[in-house]
Amino acid sequence: MEHRIKKLEAILLNDRFAAHNEIRLVSVSVGEAVAEMLVSEKHLNGVDIIQGGALFTLADFAFAAASNSHGRIAVASNASITFFKGISSGKLTAHARELNSGRTIAHYQVDIEDEEGNKIALFNGTAFRKGDY
Amino acid sequence: MEHRIKKLEAILLNDRFAAHNEIRLVSVSVGEAVAEMLVSEKHLNGVDIIQGGALFTLADFAFAAASNSHGRIAVASNASITFFKGISSGKLTAHARELNSGRTIAHYQVDIEDEEGNKIALFNGTAFRKGDY
Amino acid sequence: MEHRIKKLEAILLNDRFAAHNEIRLVSVSVGEAVAEMLVSEKHLNGVDIIQGGALFTLADFAFAAASNSHGRIAVASNASITFFKGISSGKLTAHARELNSGRTIAHYQVDIEDEEGNKIALFNGTAFRKGDY
Amino acid sequence: MEHRIKKLEAILLNDRFAAHNEIRLVSVSVGEAVAEMLVSEKHLNGVDIIQGGALFTLADFAFAAASNSHGRIAVASNASITFFKGISSGKLTAHARELNSGRTIAHYQVDIEDEEGNKIALFNGTAFRKGDY
């Protein structure tokens, strides 16, 4: 189990898109994960608020961590995101939780909040499981 | 009209998250836009395929271009994405089209394809309109 | 306020699709609503489990109640639903809660559970507001 | 193959929720299906337009037909729907098409149109495959 989490952490550290966008893993356990991002100018869109893709990437990274936490590679099938509030600075935290986990399909919810606990975005993702890692 | 598209192009050029991730606008007209991304190592996830957030960001940028093309600032309310195929190199093109446009709400579909015309992902986004830009 | 809730209840009682499918309102207050459905043969699909449309309708009715609870007509823009468990009998309860409410756009989550508290489905809906009722 | 379609048609005819709501199958072939509904008073919501659940059910039935057309039972994992236009009478047609089909997961799009070809709603659904039927 601990060995499995170590292997998973190595996979997540190898996520170059997350690293390039300064998203980092805070914690991962079975069915759950937390990631964070310090919003800076590189995350902003043309009207100076955080780009939807930056929020999606933060949530997707936490989702990947949680959905791969059972010792098998899980691949995203689809996801949706709802944007509540446009922000342009500060630290964001994404908390992924497993809603349901079948043999091949599993569903996750990710809540993104700012430092004051304001809801920034809500992400729901579906993953399907492939072989062991 | 041409003046409006110029203003919109300036807004899109100011999207630092898109620029940081090497996404560029190919064309924009009323209700329609095309963006592209040359997939490189920085776009990959921990298992060496393109990160879902990179695909979302490409689609979201085309969606932002199309949804802002009517001369009013449009903000994303929510979006969903379905992933068809994991790729790790090559040029991807996102084509955004308006499905429906009301006074305050508008809906867009974005198709992402690779150079051979394979479907890579499908994005649907809802925007709501604010003041003029 | 109480007067407004009375008017809303009259609108909801006039929902003939909900009535035809034996969905009933349990309670409604500002930003929140509960509806229920006793699953019977008429709600089943071709492989003898509850039809996705029956679950969606139950959730949508609770969403309509919650999203119209502010005294203005709210119309659904889009919604998504995730199915956790196929059931074929028993009472289902849908609980709608407001996630976020702006001037024109508001987002709701609806949880459907069975009598033992098992999660059956999760619904997310976006509404936009029109004039007063 | 023809035998398989016959078996599928029997399953679809057994969908009691579709029948109760006057939704009927027009055609089904591998990866594609058409269903229709004549909108009447029983399909209306409290403000006299078609209930979102009625549109979802129509789309979901066409999606079920298309996703089960490969000879294996397919179960819906999740779906989303976008509403374009509120109508209150006339015949609606739902056309389901397969976007992508893997070994265990498949994605479908369903377009609902009225008799004049106006877009009424767009549905996207994900199914996962179980055993043969």
pLDDT tens, position by position, B83-115: 999 999 999 999 999 999 988 899 999 999 999
Structural domains of chain B, count: 1
Query: Can you give the pLDDT at residue D23?
Result: 98
Q: Residues near D37 by Cβ (< 8 Å), separated by ≥ 6? A: D21, D22, D23, D24, D43, D54, D58, D91, D92, D94
Alpha-carbon Rg for chain A, nearest whole angstrom, is 14
Count helices and strands in chain A by DSSP H and E runs: 3, 6
State whether C20 and D15 contact (CB < 8 Å).
Answer: no
State whether C80 and A107 contact (CB < 8 Å).
Answer: no
- A52-67 and B52-67 helices cross at what angle (nearest 10)? 150
Question: Distance from CA of residue B95 to its chain's centroid?
Answer: 7
Could you report how far apart the first and last alpha carbons of chain A are, in Å?
A: 13
Query: Can you give the pLDDT at residue C107?
Result: 96
State which residues of chain D have pLDDT below 50.
none
- Lookup: tokens for C82: 């995730």
Domain that holds residue A7: 2-132
Q: Which site among B56, B82, B84, B110 would you substitute to test the A interface, given the most A Cβ atoms closer than 10 Å to its Cβ?
A: B56
Taking alpha carbons only, the member of A50, A60, A48 closest to residue A17 is: A60
Residue D111's CATH number: 3.10.129.10
CB B25 within 8 A of CB B9: yes
Chains linked to D by 3 or more Cβ pairs within 8 Å: A, B, C
Residue type, B114: D
Q: What count of CB pairs under 8 Å joins B to C?
A: 21
Question: Which residues of D fall within a CB distance of 8 Å from C53?
Answer: 17-18, 21, 53, 56-58, 60-61
Measured torsion, CA atoms of residues B12, B16, B20, B22, in degrees rounded to the nearest 10:
0
Closest CB to A122: pick one of C82, C99, C119: C99
B19-39 average pLDDT score:
97
H or E stretch covering B112? strand B105-113
Query: Can you give the pLDDT at residue B9?
Result: 92
Measured torsion, CA atoms of residues A38, A41, A47, A49, in degrees rounded to the nearest 10:
10
Q: Is the pLDDT of residue C131 over 80?
A: no
Query: Can you give the pLDDT at residue C1?
Result: 63
CB B55 within 8 A of CB B79: no
State whether C51 and D14 contact (CB < 8 Å).
Answer: no
Please state whether beta strands D23-29 and B72-83 pair in parallel, antiparallel, or not at all (unpaired): unpaired
CA distance A96 to A62: 6
Residue type, A55: L
Query: Can you give the pLDDT at residue D1?
Result: 63
Query: Can you give the pLDDT at residue C102?
Result: 87
Per-residue model confidence as pLDDT tens digits over C23-66:
999 999 999 999 999 999 999 999 999 999 999 999 999 999 99
| ipTM of predicted assembly, 2 dp | 0.96
Nearest CA in chain C to A109: C122
Question: Which residues of A fall within a CB distance of 8 Å from B16?
Answer: 41-45, 51
State which residues of chain A have pLDDT below 70.
1
State whether D44 and C78 contact (CB < 8 Å).
Answer: no
Query: Can you give the pLDDT at residue D63?
Result: 98
